Structure 1
Amino acid sequence: MLDLESIQAVLAEPLVAQALCLTAEVALATLAIHLVAGLALGYALAQRGWFGRGWVDALVTLPLVFPPVATGFVLLLLLGRRGLVGSWLGEHWAIEVVFSFWGVLIASVLAGLPLVVKPIQSALEAVSGRLAEAARVLGKGELEIFLRVLLPNIRGALVAGLVLGLGRSLGEVGITLMLGGNVGGRTTTVSLEIYNAVSGGEFERAAALSLVLGLVSLGLFAVLKRLGAV
């Protein structure tokens, strides 16, 4: 039976503590990247008529419709030590993506990015035309229009996207398995620890970790929603 004592025992395990720290670091980095990339891509996709828009839209949406393990495999071929991008990163920047923090971060960002971009894109398409045109008539520049006119009007969509994206990223397993490799103490997130516990028949351990991850997720969501309501 799951109780406070058993939860404390699970959290005291070194591998679990490392997984919690890694998950927290990845979640915060993912949130920052989602904020910047989500706004940039959402704004770009809300503008119609530019060359390559359809391809960018398809690439952003792909993680929603493509199986996570298959997505991870494609990324492994690209970012692996012998991959087209991975070999270049290793040769010129001494960066190894696979089986590293960077692999886990990339998996987290890509898993949740579509859920951030799409609400922002839809909100901008709904408000950008009339509000932006009115601001231009008043002599405002494009950056000022975005920061002072459009951004306040899409705050709800932005927060909703960040909440959805973070939730998807925290639960990511398939892409992370491929890029991070599930190396205990290095690239194992809390979600992967739950996966490992279930695979090993340690259901009480899995339940304790699921409860902790759920509470952390609810706390982060509450903070984001509070920010969106201010």
Structure 2
Amino acid sequence: MDSFFEQPAWIALALSLKVACWATVLALVAGTGFGYLLARKRFMGRELLDAILTLPMVMPPTVLGYYLLVLIGREGVIGAWLQHHFGINLIFTWQAAVIAAAVVAFPLVLKGARAAFETVDTQLEQAAMVLGVAPFAVFLRVTLPLAWRGVLGGTLLAFARSMGEFGATLMVAGSIPGKTQTLSIAVYEAVQAGQDDTANLLVIITSVVCVTVLVAANKLTPNRNPQR
């Protein structure tokens, strides 16, 4: 019974929830913006842009982690700039874990948002504009309320994906107990150390959280083939 409430497990859970929440917020903002852009705008290379933005969904985690190191590492394009101008080092911090999880989760929000926005009748948006409503207000008062179920469904999937992120997170954030060791990394470390009780606890916690989120996402995702 003592092992069930082992402190490191709950620390890993708290850190995973923290990382997943922040990553989901970032993915939601970026995914909604790009989803609307791809759904409403017609421009050359639109589908190519969609494919590039979706890459994190299919790219091997180690490759994605390498790209992130190139960008935010100490010698990376962004990382070196942050270190030089602000003294900020992202590598091996929980913020790096957030960035990795957000990048991996982003395509899920993007796909859900684009599909949701494409189902909104553009005539309703045009009618609002004719009445003098500003474009951004049309988005907030007409488009988003009609597409919110699809956007939220993708967001919940992104949250679940962020909870289970492993490869890219391990490469850019490492495995520092209490600082960067998320649930998925803690499971790996427990198995490597032969701590089966801890591993089983962590797996159960992760599974319960992810199943709960997936059930909620299924309920919110619009049914495209309703039963008559």
TM-score bracket relative to the smaller structure:
0.7 to 0.9
Deviations, residues 81-137 of structure 1 (Å, cap 9, x unaligned): 111211111111211111011110001111111001111112212315232222223
The equivalent of 2:149 in structure 1 is 156
- In 2, the alpha carbon distance for the partners of 1:84 and 1:168 equals 27
Deviations, residues 53-105 of structure 1 (Å, cap 9, x unaligned): 45642332110121111100111122111112111111112111110111100
The equivalent of 2:108 in structure 1 is 115
- In 1, the alpha carbon distance for the partners of 2:78 and 2:45 equals 21
Q: How many residues align?
A: 222
Q: Which amino acid aligns with 2:180?
A: T
CA shift at 1:225, angstroms? 7.4
- In 2, the alpha carbon distance for the partners of 1:167 and 1:24 equals 10
Match of 1:145 among 134, 138, 143: 138
- In 2, the alpha carbon distance for the partners of 1:159 and 1:131 equals 21
CA shift at 1:224, angstroms? 6.9
The equivalent of 2:75 in structure 1 is 82
Provide closer, same or farther for how the CA distance between residues 227 and 62 of structure 1 changes in structure 2, counting only shifts above 3 A.
closer
SS state at 1:185 partner: coil
SS state at 2:180 partner: coil
Provide closer, same or farther for how the CA distance between residues 172 and 185 of structure 1 changes in structure 2, counting only shifts above 3 A.
same
The equivalent of 2:22 in structure 1 is 29
List aligned pairs for 1:119-138, cutoff 5 A. 119-127=112-120, 129-138=122-131
The equivalent of 1:168 in structure 2 is 161
The equivalent of 1:18 in structure 2 is 11
Provide closer, same or farther for how the CA distance between residues 223 and 119 of structure 1 changes in structure 2, counting only shifts above 3 A.
closer
- In 1, the alpha carbon distance for the partners of 2:34 and 2:57 equals 16
Q: Which amino acid aligns with 2:6?
A: A
Alpha-carbon RMSD across the aligned residues, in angstroms, is 2.4
- In 2, the alpha carbon distance for the partners of 1:128 and 1:74 equals 39
CA shift at 1:185, angstroms? 2.4
Q: Which amino acid aligns with 1:130?
A: Q
The equivalent of 1:105 in structure 2 is 98
Structure 1 stretches of 5 or more lacking a match? none
The equivalent of 2:226 in structure 1 is none
Match of 1:95 among 79, 85, 88: 88
TM-score of the pair, normalised by structure 1: 0.85
Identity over aligned pairs, percent: 36
The answer as to whether partners of 1:159 and 1:225 remain within 8 angstroms in 2 is no
- In 1, the alpha carbon distance for the partners of 2:220 and 2:201 equals 29
Q: Which amino acid aligns with 2:3?
A: A
Deviations, residues 181-229 of structure 1 (Å, cap 9, x unaligned): 1122221001111111222333332121111122233455567778889
2:186 is equivalent to residue 201 of structure 1: no
The equivalent of 1:46 in structure 2 is 39
The answer as to whether partners of 1:101 and 1:186 remain within 8 angstroms in 2 is yes
- In 2, the alpha carbon distance for the partners of 1:196 and 1:186 equals 14
The equivalent of 2:225 in structure 1 is none
CA shift at 1:19, angstroms? 1.5
Provide closer, same or farther for how the CA distance between residues 102 and 128 of structure 1 changes in structure 2, counting only shifts above 3 A.
farther
Q: Which amino acid aligns with 2:125?
A: A
Q: Which amino acid aligns with 1:121?
A: R
